[in-house]
Structure 1
Amino acid sequence: MEHSDLRERLRRLGVTRGAERVTPPPRRKPRPIEELLPGEILATEQGACFLHREHYPLDYRHGGLSLSALLEHPADVAALLARDERLAALDPTRWAFVDTETTGLAGGTGTYAFLVGVGLFEGDGFTIHQYFMRDYDEEPAQLHALAGVLDRLGAVVSFNGKSFDMPLLETRFTMTRQAPRLSGAPHLDLLPVSRRIWKHRLESCALSNLEEAVLGVQRAQEDVPGWLIPGLYGDYVRSRDAREMPRIFYHNAQDILSLVVLAARLSSLLTHPLASSQDGDIPGEDLYGLGRLLCDLGQGDRGQVALARAVEGCRLRSVRELAMRDLAYQLKRQERRDEALPWWQRLAREEGAIYAFEELAKHYEWHARDIAQALAWTEEALALVQGWPPGPRRREALADLEHRLNRLRQRLALGS
């Protein structure tokens, strides 16, 4: 009786001895991409692929800047950022803002760019063309259609595109027996320049971090993390259900819009690097990166002003020391030793930087011809190093300082 009651209770709970009575959930009918996004099926001589376009007016704001902000700067600013003079001769309407979504991040012949987005200024706005292969056999058609728009353009703007996107596209063109496009064209890769400026303040200079910390971009909930994208496309190819694909198209379009405003932000920093720094709008750590970049680009005067303001604006003591150090060395290389002197003194007094004590000793020995002052700075440095923990660094520093100290004492004795 108890067993029959138990079986009845299990039956009511849906528990059976096997799975023969289990009803599978109804299968969701796959939806193709063309039902989910406006676009067109492009028929090419290589087959068909899907194209989705998005058009934005020039005054469209992405984060804190409008797309037109980039057009306010002459092309030679971009040429300076790219370190490629050829870019100065190309109007921004001939720049291709390129971003790819791929089946993996390793690159190589096994990685496909299943979605390639190209943004360009045309007409009265900015248009993003997104070329999508609905299956792997559509790759030749996708690349053939992509070539049609790239052939109209003369330069590339990307984020890490020199290392990833463009080499990958070159490989895919070659694999499909088509000539690579824009190979060797002027290329403004925004990642290395962004790192130069913002790496001292941000833990990561990934585009998503720059959007939040620099550009003021807030993505909508439909965005998808980049690391999920290869898996979502794999699921789509197996199931033929494109319901998740609009999220990837959105992610790709947001990346391209961010390329435009990031290029505008960088151009503004190079054109008017110190316009808002006095009001504290530019953190000191960013001013340090900008100052170093300006100096490397041959704009030493503006770079030195940025470094000086960085010293006063830095919250991180380590970066403040770097700003003082680099500024002092810049002035020394220009034979402006008297201007460098107070920076060496600050480095010695505020940071206890032994190299600053050594520079002060050199200055007073060889330029100011004040052996007593050189000796005093050397003795002070020696006292500091003697307090260091034992190790090779301490031994080497002591040996150098003691050698300098003995020579200065001999010179002082001879002079007296």
Structure 2
Amino acid sequence: MSNDMKSSKDGPVARDYDVWLAAFAERGWTSFMERLEQVVVGKREVIRLAGLAMLSGGHILLEDVPGVGKTLLARTLAQVAGGSFRRIQMTPDMMPADITGSMMWEPSSGSFRRIQMTPDMMPADITGSMMWEPSSGSLRYSEGALHANVVLADELNRAPARTQSALLEAMEEGTVTVDGVTRALPQPFLVVATQNPIAFEGTYRMPEAEMDRFAMRLSLGYPQADQEADMLLRQQEGTPLRRLKPLWSPEEWQLLIERVRQVHLDVVLCRYMADLADGTRCHPAVKLGVSPRGTLALMRVAQAHAWVEGRTYAVPEDVQAVALPVLAHRLLLQREASLAGATEEEVLAEVLLHTAVPGFPTGAKGAGRPAKPMRQPEERGRAASRYVSPRTRPVSGAPARSAGSRIWFGGLFR
């Protein structure tokens, strides 16, 4: 992307907003997709959703079995985005020093040397800590692994709870607090975490408060045979990641996030997203529904979806297209529903299928391509299921019946 997109202190962005939006949707977004598909083969939908999360300013959780490309996708996102990158390899009983090392005074040389420590990780080694500086006779702050634009937390659920808790403030507020002093992290700031399914040996259950801070949970799944063969051909002379060049600078990436948040949201669309969240909270199969933080993440990602579609306004179809990966991981099902084989994706798909959708005219005012006609209920269910995680099963729709201003449902609904 060119530098003429950047804004200055003396005035607005140099290029016209609508023209620049159309140029990005037609060329910039296409370039992003093409570069990632050179490395991650056959996962176009997952790449698209990960890109939307980046444009929305959210964090990404990649959950799947080992060896399917979770870490590769995370590293590819970081390399395309430019900026600084750090990786944290989580293990059980991990010490913070395994991430940053420790600084030790070495009298013989009059300097510090780095030493690698062993197990039992502490949060301070992620966020940073205070170090004694003999030359000045005072403490100095030693940055932790979170001080980067893109942080890869590999196998996050192999770290104990006290280590995972160090990420909460960073992911929500973009800051870390050490010894009572709050320090800002580089902006933009993206955490890409990978985790193995909870049934795997040596994994810890991720707290709900931490899970809720991820804008999306994505699963890659195994590739098809022809896709895997294509991957082997591309890897003959080494990983394509080495040849991948950044598409954005950190400043341009931050500008993209700011522009996405200017996408117009009608009040009835905001009410629609609130009704979806309320539908999960009232569902009899759900113990813990979508939080207001989850609704906010849905709004941001829907804005990003509208923007890459070439529009300066969002419509219900944008919400439906991203609802499953944005909201499903925030649901906690009742024990009875889990034992009956229900999944979070299945419950959310039913909520989407039966929540009343506001009507938007096909020629809605705004720049970019016109919005598509609204889908019928059964079509909305198929659209929401475009991204299908390994946990998703087909949902049998149940007829909705109106009762005054309320809509009551059959199926899993009372």
TM-score normalized by structure 2?
A: 0.27
Higher Cα Rg, which structure? 1
TM-score normalized by structure 1?
A: 0.26
Structure with more relative contact order (C-alpha pairs < 8 Å, separation 6 or more)? 2
